[in-house]
Structure 1
């Protein structure tokens, strides 16, 4: 069995032993009972990664395995089936998942059972209650003070489900990649929020009506307050939902208010302010400053995309701006 002490979670944990597999899943996810219905050995493999608010794993049992799980209390668990099928029951409800077509979400308050087919492969997500419910509260601009009631099963074959799969896949890739977003708190927070938002939009729940209903655009005074907050603290890692909460509106209301008032989204405005700050630093031409250092300090972690955005806004490449600033400085010194 591989050792999972690596904080990056890049190792594959593998075993044929039932108790070892149960111990791994207990440590990574949740306590449970595990058995194989026909007594055959496992071909268990798990590759998991942790970020601040999510645990995401790629899991295979390789046998007709059944997990019986007591109430989790402090987390939600999501299985997205990639291959094979599973049978799940919770709250006197039952659902069957099929690879590439469906998944399930398990709530924190009731026990559940999951039976895996031998060929089943799944993405398994663990989301702390406090994180998901606080994120939902920011999206709808109202308190969420009890566990969210989701439908047990949900569709992965349509556009929303495919977007959720893509977001989870991208999060896994970036957490695995050396120098990826696991080392960049600002970008990691944004991607975690994207996964949670897409999950709440994809899986039917008691707040789906609010999440999908058109919001009234935020008024000009609310948009102005948001602009002032961004201008004062463009380095902050506020998501749109957190920014909306700070100014007392919903995320969609703030987005519509920005579109009506300034013709761009809150995210685009944050990017424009950060580009202005980058430009100011490059034009200052500080000795030893590099474009990558300045860009990453202001939240631009994909340098190719950053260079394109910079030229689109200012008409020259960042390297040209820095070179011009240093030529001007040398001219002043020589003069």
Structure 2
């Protein structure tokens, strides 16, 4: 351990990790590892540097409690791979994301989108925040699941989140349950079923409680339901995505022609059958890479397991969908 650092806990998913440092370079490195590549610098008014952080990763969610002993500025660029919410516990933090700005306080949180430069222009000395990172593919996957169609553009949240509204207070209670695990890890970090329920509650509460670009679409009564044939094929893909399905096989199982199946997917799903199947497989690959703790696990092994025979095309599709290389997902899942 280098001088100036005091750390405790392991970095495994579900296990809190904490440290305190006066070393600016070390703080930058640790923040970039847990959250995003970023720069953090004391402002001209700051005297010295002092940083404390305690974090916990539960699958696609990372919760942290962060505080700086001196006033700082933080530049994260485009987050790309995640949505993020900062909930101040004390003090104030002037923040911006793209063309939106807010001064976050214990009454007003800040929501950051993956697209748009994220900068914390002034984190007041002594201010403490809960910093919630939500994997982009997980949040957008929840929207896709509810709308039953692909998203033509990323979800774009309003940055200012009013913590005094009843709906938002309910969402904050769920975040506080997760934050409590930072100090006393319990069932929500040890039981995957409970953890999954808490993740859905937090992400679902954000989607319903905070204005965003798909909020009206989520509130609309469902369009005409998918025909039984399309539903059956979708269910088959989700149940057995690793199967070497062809459009002809799927059409035969659904009892329709290839042309009818493709038209049904175009109208009710929004993408061709093979594109939908590829997305199902990519989601399975990502889940396995996140959980990739077995010593022998490898990207190629997981890709082949879920039906990808060409690693180059697989890697390209993975980057396009998730904004990172599959090897990066595996590496972060093992931390």
Q: Which residue of 2 aligns with 1:131?
A: 138
The CA deviation at 1:141 is 2.8
TM-score by length of 1: 0.61
Q: CA deviation at 1:214?
A: 5.4
Residue 7 of structure 2 is aligned to residue 2 of structure 1: yes
Distance 1:45 1:89 in 2: 23
Deviations 1:276-302 (A, max 9, x none): xxxxxxxxxxxxxxxxxxxxxxxxxxx
Residue aligning to 2:81: 74
Residues 46 and 72 of structure 2 are in contact (CA less than 8 Å); yes or no, is this contact kept in structure 1?
no
Q: 2:197 aligns with which of 177, 190, 195?
A: 190
Unpaired runs of at least 5, structure 1: 226-248, 250-335
CA distance in 2, matches of 1:39, 1:28: 25
TM-superposed deviation, 1:215: 5.4
Normalising to structure 2: TM-score of the pair? 0.61
Measure the CA separation in 2 of the matches of 1:211 and 1:175: 32
Q: In the TM superposition, what is the alpha-carbon distance from 1:185 to its structure 2 partner? A: 1.4
| RMSD, aligned CA | 3.0
Query: Could you say which residue in structure 2 is the equivalent of 1:122?
Result: 129
CA–CA separation in structure 2 for the residues paired with 1:157 and 1:141 = 32
Q: Does the 8 Å contact 1:46/1:57 carry over to 2?
A: yes
Aligned length: 227
Counterpart for residue 281 of structure 1: none
Question: Residue 50 of structure 1 aligns to a residue in which SS?
Answer: strand
Do residues 107 (structure 1) and 113 (structure 2) align?
Answer: yes
- Structure 1 residue 16, shift from structure 2 partner: 2.0
SS of match in other structure, 2:7? coil
- In the alignment, the residues of structure 2 paired with residue 122 and residue 162 of structure 1 have an alpha-carbon distance, to the nearest angstrom, of 16
* 1:177-256 equivalences in 2 (<5 Å): 177-213=184-220
Q: Which runs of 5+ in 2 are unaligned?
A: 1-5, 233-267, 269-335
Q: Helix, strand or coil for the counterpart of 1:13?
A: strand
CA contact (8 A) 2:16 2:57 kept: no
Larger Rg, first or second structure (1 or 2)? 1
Q: Distance in 2 between matches of 1:90 and 1:178?
A: 32
CA distance in 2, matches of 1:44, 1:179: 26
In the alignment, which of 5, 15, 20 is matched to residue 21 of structure 2?
15
| Residues 10, 16 of structure 2: 8 Å contact kept | no
Rounded to whole Å, the distance in 2 between the matches of 1:179 and 1:58 is 17
Question: Contact 2:61/2:134 (CA < 8 Å) preserved in 1?
Answer: yes
Judge which range, 24-33 or 88-97, deviates more: 88-97
